[in-house]
DNA sequence: GAATTTCTGCAATAGCAAGTGCAGCAGATC
DNA sequence: GATCTGCTGCACTTGCTATTGCAGAAATTC
């Protein structure tokens, strides 16, 4: 707990605050509030007005007025800003901090997904990842299923695996289509289920039945002990917190690329041949400009 | 005795929660709350009761009762605990990330895509992003086109925009299908072209013709001065370096989420209604387990 | 298949946190 | 040294958020 000395102006740079506190002329009490905020990031991010006031040894109204003097509507408004910066600060390394100045929903989403990817580095079990790669490489057939927006990672995996010459297909429909696709799976085949958030009945059923039929089931999902993960042989757990109402499949998408890279690392020769075959087809189809 | 025998217990260990959630018998709604908390650490640590309730799609009272069932006095009490653990978790793990010696293709891919996202923070022009959001919100119709693995971001954008009630569709096929889809575009419509790497003839043509017909064209692409970007009204430039042979659409995917968040920010009321309509349909279709 | 038990959601309530008018006081200025 | 300006703190008000009682809805058991 530091006694506030009449600070000249809000710390301009160098701190975790960035430009959250514009260089406005502040009064004595207001400087004490700012000092308290700068020195107690955690408190500043989560405490309520009265706690901040106590820490700065000023009256609550001074906290409110400080926030307003800095251009915010009030304390909650300022706190939101501080919280966002603090969270970025403690989890980011140096290069990121200076970027935080650009704020838009798109930038927020990118920064948020950076966190998801970092988390994924921890949540993905390397052994499960390797086991998944091994299974994919030795599969007689690979079926990737997912629904709605979670098709994103699934499409990456299926399309590019096929591009590399693996017998991979994607089924994004449910009902009868999913049923047909799953019914043909058996020993030696691999089913990849991509799903986040609340479990979809049909996907869980697909996983269970495929496993019963002797296929290897790989799950890319966000709940370590959810139904999808439990119905799988190898579960890759990805974080999925999104910036708005939806869960983010960004980390799952990156995992898909990682699996593909793992397949290449394991069977470079086979992949090289597969890619060559595919790209010669691309040439013959004359798909690309220039 | 107890009626349902729902989720056995919250995720025991390995996650950021530690033993914050004791292994208590939980009901259906309570498991949903716990799942939402586990999957959305940031939200869980700062959001208020109503936001958590919305995320878990339960009534606020269920959130309170979940907290009490877990041995806390109420939601604020549980939130304090979660917040503390989350902060410890991110500050403990974040600096560690570089030191982490887990090397697998999947981990390489994740770390690689972290860089892509960070670069995207710089390469995305905030004004273009806002312009894209504005166009999407006021569109009579939204058509999202992409091919192969680049369908990933496109599917996210189209599916979730439609979920939010916007008239969005995705066309992932080329040839006659792409032609039909594009031919109906005119003034007031928006075409979103997602494409990385070498330009596909048909996509460039689609963009040009749509623009000629008076539609607004948004490009999500990696070449700032490539044909796709030049044929567009608003270009969002994303880095796309992949860990192996393929370009990574991970950053593009995150951008898609960002656009959706931007649309919500601009028209919260409309989106809320749209989401409600969709989720009532989900309920009627009885898609989800438990 | 009926009854009982248990859960969920709604709505009213209680409690609290943020904001603001007012008065006193301190510092600045003439 | 007197006056004036304007900051600070107190106390009140307003608005909102967490909680809980209650009723309807599932679901389990007999």
Q: In terms of domains, do A253 and A135 share one? A: yes
Nucleotide closest to A48 measured between CA and C1': C17
Do B232 and B194 contact (CB within 8 A), yes or no? no
Locate all alpha helices (DSSP H) within chain A, ordered by sequence.
Answer: 28-39, 41-46, 49-56, 60-69, 75-91, 94-97, 105-123, 126-137, 151-163, 176-183, 201-212, 227-230, 250-266, 268-285
Domain end marker among B69, B100, B131: B100
Element (H, E) at B61: helix B60-69
Burial class of residue B285 (count of CB atoms within 10 Å of its CB; 0-12, 13-18, 19+): exposed
Q: Supply the pLDDT for residue B100.
A: 57
Rounded Cα–Cα distance for residues A247 and A226 (Å): 16
Q: Supply the pLDDT for residue A21.
A: 62
Rounded Cα–Cα distance for residues B143 and B166 (Å): 11
Q: Is residue A166 part of a domain?
A: yes
| Strand C contacted by A60 CB (< 7 A) | yes
Domain end marker among A46, A69, A101: A101
Q: Supply the pLDDT for residue A255.
A: 97
CA-to-C1' span, B199 to D8 (A): 65
Query: What CATH number is attached to the domain comprising B96?
Result: 1.10.10.10
Q: Quickly state the pLDDT bin for A8 (edges 50, 70, 90).
A: very low
Range of the domain at B254: 105-285
Q: In terms of domains, do A58 and A142 share one? A: no
A287 vs B202: CB contact, 8 Å cut-off? Answer: yes
pLDDT in 10s for each residue of chain B, 290 residues: 334 334 444 444 446 776 767 777 888 889 999 989 988 888 999 999 999 999 998 999 999 999 999 989 999 999 998 988 888 887 776 655 555 566 789 999 999 999 999 899 989 999 999 999 999 999 999 999 999 999 999 999 999 999 999 999 999 999 999 999 999 999 999 999 999 999 999 999 999 999 999 999 999 999 898 999 999 999 999 999 998 889 999 999 999 999 999 999 999 889 988 988 888 888 888 788 76
Q: In terms of domains, do A142 and A279 share one? A: yes
Q: Report the SS3 class of residue B5.
A: coil
Q: Which of A100, A108, A110 is the best residue to mutate to test the B interface, defined by the most B CB atoms within 10 Å of its own CB?
A: A110
Q: A41: which residues sit within 8 A by CB, 6+ positions away?
A: A16, A82, A86, A89, A90
Domain end marker among A38, A68, A101: A101
What DSSP string runs through A25-84? ---HHHHHHHHHHHH-HHHHHH--HHHHHHHHTS-HHHHHHHHHHTT-SSHHHHHHHHHH
Do B28 and B290 contact (CB within 8 A), yes or no? yes
Do B7 and B31 contact (CB within 8 A), yes or no? yes
Query: What CATH number is attached to the domain comprising A125?
Result: 3.40.50.10490
Q: Is residue B36 part of a domain?
A: yes
Instruction: Kindly state the percentage of chain A with pLDDT values over 90.
Output: 56
Q: In terms of domains, do B213 and B265 share one? A: yes
Q: In terms of domains, do A145 and A238 share one? A: yes
Tokens of B213: 């017909």
Q: Is residue A15 part of a domain?
A: no
Do B86 and A83 contact (CB within 8 A), yes or no? no
Q: What is the mean pLDDT of residues A195-224?
A: 95
Nearest to B235 by CA among B103, B95, B123: B123
Q: Is residue A82 part of a domain?
A: yes
Q: Is residue B290 part of a domain?
A: no
Q: In terms of domains, do B45 and B122 share one? A: no
Q: In terms of domains, do B110 and B96 share one? A: no
Q: In terms of domains, do B191 and B93 share one? A: no
Q: Supply the pLDDT for residue A2.
A: 33
Q: Supply the pLDDT for residue A144.
A: 98
Between residues A17 and A258, the one the model is more confident about: A258
How many residue pairs bridge chain A and chain B with CB atoms within 8 Å of each other?
A: 288
A261 vs B105: CB contact, 8 Å cut-off? Answer: yes
Per-residue pLDDT at A137 exceeds 90: yes
Locate all alpha helices (DSSP H) within B70-175, ordered by sequence.
Answer: 75-93, 105-123, 126-137, 151-163
Q: In terms of domains, do A126 and A195 share one? A: yes
Rounded Cα–Cα distance for residues A183 and A191 (Å): 11
Give the Cβ contact number of residue A275 at 10 Å. Answer: 17
Q: In terms of domains, do B96 and B109 share one? A: no
Q: What is the mean pLDDT of residues A138-143?
A: 98
Element (H, E) at B228: helix B227-230
Q: Based on C-alpha coordinates, what's the Rg of chain A?
A: 26
Q: Is residue A67 part of a domain?
A: yes
CA-to-C1' span, B61 to C10 (A): 10
As a whole number of angstroms, the longest Cα–Cα distance in chain B is: 69
A275 vs B43: CB contact, 8 Å cut-off? Answer: no
Nucleotide closest to A62 measured between CA and C1': D8
Q: In terms of domains, do B113 and B21 share one? A: no
Q: Is residue B165 part of a domain?
A: yes
Q: In terms of domains, do B67 and B170 share one? A: no
User: Which residues of chain A neighbour B244 with C-beta distances below 8 Å?
Assistant: 257, 260-261, 264
Distances (CA, A) of B70 to A230, B12, B51, B171, B290: 24, 13, 19, 47, 20
Do A253 and B152 contact (CB within 8 A), yes or no? yes
Q: Is residue B225 part of a domain?
A: yes
Per the structure, the count of domains in chain A is 2
Rounded Cα–Cα distance for residues A246 and B264 (Å): 11
């Amino acid at each position: 707990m530091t006694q506030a000395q009449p600070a000249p102006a809000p710390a301009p740079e160098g701190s975790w605050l960035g430009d959250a506190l514009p260089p406005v002329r502040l009064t004595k009490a207001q400087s004490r509030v700012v000092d308290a905020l700068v020195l107690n990031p955690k408190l500043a991010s989560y405490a309520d007005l009265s706690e901040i006031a106590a820490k700065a040894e000023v009256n609550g109204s001074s906290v409110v007025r400080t926030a307003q003097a800095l251009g915010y509507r009030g304390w909650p408004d300022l706190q939101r800003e501080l919280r966002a910066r603090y969270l970025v600060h403690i989890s980011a390394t140096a290069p990121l901090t200076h970027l935080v100045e650009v704020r838009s929903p798109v930038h927020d989403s990118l920064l948020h997904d950076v966190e998801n990817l970092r988390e994924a580095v921890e949540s993905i079990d390397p052994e499960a990842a390797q086991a998944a790669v091994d299974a994919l490489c030795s599969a007689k057939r690979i079926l990737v299923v997912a629904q709605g927006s979670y098709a994103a990672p699934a499409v990456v995996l299926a399309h590019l695996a096929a591009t590399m010459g693996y017998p991979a297909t994607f089924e994004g429909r449910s009902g009868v289509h999913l049923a047909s696709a799953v019914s043909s799976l058996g020993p030696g085949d691999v089913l990849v289920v991509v799903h986040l958030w609340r479990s979809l009945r049909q996907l869980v059923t697909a996983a269970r039945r495929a496993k019963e039929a002797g296929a290897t089931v790989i799950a890319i999902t966000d709940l370590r002990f959810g139904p999808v993960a439990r119905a799988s042989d190898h579960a890759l757990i990805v974080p999925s917190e999104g910036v708005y109402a939806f869960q983010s499949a960004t980390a799952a998408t990156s995992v898909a690329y990682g699996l593909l890279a793992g397949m290449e690392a394991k069977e470079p020769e086979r992949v090289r041949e597969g890619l060559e075959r595919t790209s010669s087809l691309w040439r013959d189809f004359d798909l690309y400009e220039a």
